[in-house]
Amino acid sequence: MSGNDYETHLVDRISVRELAAALTPRERRILCRYFRHDETLREAGQREGISPARTAQIIERSIQRMRTAAASVPLRVDPPLRARALPPPIGFDKAAFLRHMRGLVERRDAQESRALTAEREFLDRLLHDEAILASTPQPKPPPVYVHPLPKQHVKPWFDLSRTPSLGDLRCIAQYALGYFVAACRLSCAGLQTIGKMTTRVVCLRTADTVAAALQAVKRGIPATAQLSACLLDVPEELLAVVLGCPFVALRLGSVEDGKKVSIEVTWDE
């Protein structure tokens, strides 16, 4: 290679390096492996963990970006040749200059080669470690035991699967009477006669629905009303019980085959 050819080659290498600065490190690595080290698309892609088709796309995109960057660089116009070439500066050693430039290029090439080798070794170690990890059986996590929630205990008289007896209705009436006295905060003695007004509710035979029904009774009776503590009569055709206290009396009966209960309270204005 003559001096002029080497200088031209050196200028071209510097221009390519300047254009490659616009690329990402991965794009530069792939171009270097494909064009410089003559690796196939599959070999270059395997080192980056991508497919050959994706590698070809990156190469094509990188070349297009370098072409775009080269088009944006202003064209360098060499000065017109003079009729007579100027002599080299006094003391200029062209051979020493070329040796120096060759040494710079060789050092750069050596640095790139060492960096590429180190990168390959790192990737090889990474793949080796992943292969070992994949082949090593991983310990299974300890089993998680889910303790079932304890079943809520339902009082027999609130069990909808059975037909209520007279004793069951009495237990429900005791629960309803105690709840109603506490909810209304009764402190005044009730009437000793049956009230002229009657409030009646029908609800499902469960503790929650009975409590909600008694709250509805409380809201339906005026605050100034006086409740009756006199026990009501029980018709023969009705399975019911009556229960009272010094403040109020109520009648609780079974309706709809025992699925629901009716609650009655009398009062006066």
Q: Is the pLDDT of residue 78 over 60?
A: no
> Mean pLDDT throughout 128-134?
78
**Between these two residues, 120 and 74, which has the higher pLDDT value?**
120
Q: Is the pLDDT of residue 81 over 90?
A: no
Confidence (pTM): 0.44
Q: Is the pLDDT of residue 132 over 60?
A: yes
The 3-state secondary structure of 141-162 reads CCCCCCCCCCCCCCCHHHCCCC
Which has the minimum average pLDDT: 72-76, 223-227, 264-268? 72-76
Which has the minimum average pLDDT: 29-33, 106-110, 120-124, 132-136? 132-136
pLDDT at res. 7 = 52
Domains in the chain (CATH in brackets) are: 3-71+95-135 (1.10.10), 156-268 (no CATH)
pLDDT band of residue 3 (cuts 50, 70, 90) is: very low
DSSP string for the chain = --HHHHHHHHHHHHHHHHHHTTS-HHHHHHHIIIIIS---HHHHHHHHT--HHHHHHHHHHHHHHHHHHHHHSPPP-PPPPPSSPPPPPTT--HHHHHHHHHHHHHHHHHHHHHHHHHHHHHHHHHHHHHHHHHHSPPPPPPPPP-PPPPPPPPPGGG-TTS---HHHHHHHHHHHHHHHHHHHT--SPPBSS--SEEEEEEEESSHHHHHHHHHHHHHHS-TT-EEB-SPPP--TTS-EEEEE-SS-EEEEEEETTTTEEEEEEEEE-
> Mean pLDDT throughout 225-230?
90
pLDDT at res. 15 = 62
* Beta carbons within 10 angstroms of residue 73's beta carbon: 10
* Rg, the chain, Cα only: 50
**Between these two residues, 140 and 121, which has the higher pLDDT value?**
121
Q: Is the pLDDT of residue 245 over 70?
A: yes
pLDDT at res. 202 = 93
Q: Is the pLDDT of residue 60 over 70?
A: yes
pLDDT at res. 250 = 92
**Between these two residues, 223 and 200, which has the higher pLDDT value?**
200
